[in-house]
Structure 1
Amino acid sequence: MQKQHILITGGSGLIGKCLTEELLKQGYTVSHLSRGEGKDSRVKTYQWNVDRGQIDENCLSGVDTIVHLAGAGIADKRWTKKRKKILIDSRTQSIALLYDLIKRKPNLVKNIISASATGYYSNRGDELLTEDSTPAKDFLGYCCTVWEQAVDAGKELNLRIVKLRTGVVLSRRGGALPPLALPVKFGVGTALGSGKQWIPWIHIQDAVDMYLHVLENNAIQGVFNMVAPNPVTNKQLTKAVAKQLRRPYWLPNVPAFILRALLGEMSKVVLASTKVSADKIESTGFTFKYPLLADTLKQLYGK
């Protein structure tokens, strides 16, 4: 049976790179939409410029599914008014540009699988959050809400829509783990704020596998949490990394007020407590390879 042709936006990011590798390994045809030139000869790269509303119209040729990962990095810079606009526009205008092209070239693309984020729920203490929980009334909640609404506009084009609310993806190749592990390696790892805030984490392999799972199961649609079934607190995560790396864990927590002074409103990224359920994706038959944090860190860092 002929494998699908997948177009990925944001293919140079952590999940995009790993997903591209896995799709190619399994015999899929993969192409990217990017602002720059592609570096992988196995992947055809089409150009677009979201700010200018420019897109190579050939990018949809032969494409069955679009995996939409594009968006400016939430934790890359302080959240000024200008930065907040970039964070929202890079997500909403990019999918709108794709939908505008799909309207002009109908009957090609059948599925849209889009990233979203557990920032949708933001800071909720010990509440167990499901896909039916309400969005937070802060910037993160608003950003994710308008992002998902922009993706849902594809329903009018008779597309199958899947949105994956991504948690903290653990990988040695990028994301949150390397900066968390760096001070631990030097023996100065410590929890942030109270340390009691819940971290909705997932192993990079499970994240990639989840994209494949929803890609290959046409009955799956709607929104799903992309998190492991066993959330941990910030303190538990830092301690587990220290244990895996055989480093001491002895320093007092970094007070929340210091993080707020350093990071401003963006401190919510590390101080928010977001305890997220994985039940819904598991009910579709998805099985996690790394449901436990200790096994995840063991696999990532070796013995």
Structure 2
Amino acid sequence: MGDMTIVVTGSSGLLGSALIRALAADGRQVRRLVRHEPAAPDEAFWNPEEGVLDPSVLDGADAVVHLAGAGIGDRRWTPAYKRKVLESRTRGTSMLAAALAGMGAPPGVLLSGSAVGFYGDTKDRAVDENDRQGEGFLADVVTQWEGATARAAEAGIRVVRMRTGVVLSRSGGALAKVLPIFRMGLGAPLGTGRQYFSWISRTDWVNAVRFLLQNEGISGPVNVTSPEPVTNAAYTKAVGHAMNRPTLPIPTPAFALRLALGEFADEGVLIGQRVLPRVLLDAGYRFSEPDLPTALKAALND
């Protein structure tokens, strides 16, 4: 697994930071595309908003893992922030895809970030990579985000679009935001609590990326989620149990979530997404933390 050179964007984020640690441990060479003045030998500057990318930083690379993009739930969805959510994904992806397509000897694979938001509200219906796009802002964003990889795919590069669920970690993301509430014994189901929630442990996300880098037979959309999605009520109970804290039996009503979170509440919290990782399972990927209690225990200790 050594001697492979991998270019990574979004390397300072929750997922990228864990990935580059794992790749380094595998003996791989990592080049990080960063948006600040390079401060280390493995860093190279790019600016997707300004269209700045020196194609030479891709020379000799075997793979590109592209994770950069503004946080979906980080701020209220004003029109300006919604535009940022979209453009921070499509611009960088388009620029990378075009640069790769223009190379004489491009990397063999582009693993490009994506999200289960593609499927919209699936309610309690299980979906996999064969299902069509759902409705809503996030579904539209994901479709354009994935479409921005087209030039790389047309150039014959293996492109994997990683439709990631909610990644469980105490270091960031959705779980980290609610831990203070659960510590106070105030954790509660959201909305009806019956909506499904597709998640993955950070360890399995990293291992799935390593698996996808090596498995040359996989391309196209890949759901990077646990094979055991759960309802929001079950998730709430499991988090409380993992923290040894009581949870409230009365759900937080939808109107309160809309007041607190705005438009994001309807697409990020109140909808159901029961997404199954069919491609990974069929390819033989073995989850190390497939069930929620195991994953939460690991997340709270990572």
Common topology (TM > 0.5): yes
Letter of the 1:32 partner, please give it: R
- Structure 1 segment 118-137 matched on structure 2, within 5 A: 118-137=116-135
Distance (Å, rounded) in 2 between the aligned partners of 1:290 and 1:2: 25
Q: Look up the match of 1:59.
A: 57
Distance (Å, rounded) in 2 between the aligned partners of 1:80 and 1:181: 26
- Structure 1 segment 121-200 matched on structure 2, within 5 A: 121-200=119-198
Structure 1 unpaired stretches of 5+: none
Q: Look up the match of 2:272.
A: 273
CA contact (8 A) 1:189 1:251 kept: no
1:50 aligns with 2:67: no
Number of positions where the alignment pairs a residue of Structure 1 with one of Structure 2: 300
Distance (Å, rounded) in 1 between the aligned partners of 2:158 and 2:248: 50
CA contact (8 A) 1:206 1:289 kept: yes
Q: Look up the match of 1:113.
A: 111
Write the deviation string for residues 218-264 of structure 1: whole angstroms up to 9, x where unpaired.
11111111110111111111111111111111351110011112222
Write the deviation string for residues 157-185 of structure 1: whole angstroms up to 9, x where unpaired.
11001111000000121111111222111
**Greater mean alpha carbon deviation, residues 21-30 or residues 260-269:** 260-269
Letter of the 1:290 partner, please give it: E
Q: Look up the match of 1:102.
A: 100
Q: Look up the match of 2:230.
A: 232
- Structure 1 segment 184-263 matched on structure 2, within 5 A: 184-263=182-261
Deviation of the 1:3 alpha carbon: 2.4
* Cα 1:145–1:191 shift into 2, 3 Å: same
Write the deviation string for residues 184-209 of structure 1: whole angstroms up to 9, x where unpaired.
11111111111111110100000000
Structure 1 residue aligned with 2:73, among 64, 68, 75? Answer: 75
SS for the counterpart of 1:172 is coil
Query: Normalized against structure 2, the TM-score is what?
Result: 0.95
Distance (Å, rounded) in 2 between the aligned partners of 1:283 and 1:103: 29
Distance (Å, rounded) in 1 between the aligned partners of 2:187 and 2:175: 12
Deviation of the 1:56 alpha carbon: 2.6
Deviation of the 1:152 alpha carbon: 2.8
SS for the counterpart of 1:66 is strand
Distance (Å, rounded) in 2 between the aligned partners of 1:179 and 1:277: 25
Deviation of the 1:299 alpha carbon: 2.3
Write the deviation string for residues 10-31 of structure 1: whole angstroms up to 9, x where unpaired.
1111110000000000000001
| RMSD across aligned positions (CA) | 1.5
Distance (Å, rounded) in 1 between the aligned partners of 2:258 and 2:27: 47
SS for the counterpart of 1:94 is helix
SS for the counterpart of 2:206 is helix
Letter of the 2:36 partner, please give it: G
Q: Look up the match of 2:10.
A: 10
Distance (Å, rounded) in 1 between the aligned partners of 2:76 and 2:111: 29
Write the deviation string for residues 72-124 of structure 1: whole angstroms up to 9, x where unpaired.
11111111222121111111110111233234432132210111100111212
* Cα 1:130–1:103 shift into 2, 3 Å: closer
SS for the counterpart of 2:89 is helix
1:84 aligns with 2:87: no
Deviation of the 1:38 alpha carbon: 5.1
SS for the counterpart of 2:227 is coil
Percent identity for Structure 1 against Structure 2: 37
Deviation of the 1:58 alpha carbon: 2.7
Distance (Å, rounded) in 2 between the aligned partners of 1:71 and 1:106: 28
Q: Look up the match of 2:286.
A: 287
CA contact (8 A) 1:188 1:251 kept: no
Letter of the 1:294 partner, please give it: P
Distance (Å, rounded) in 2 between the aligned partners of 1:249 and 1:92: 40
Query: Normalized against structure 1, the TM-score is what?
Result: 0.95
CA contact (8 A) 2:98 2:152 kept: no
CA contact (8 A) 2:34 2:46 kept: yes
Letter of the 2:217 partner, please give it: A
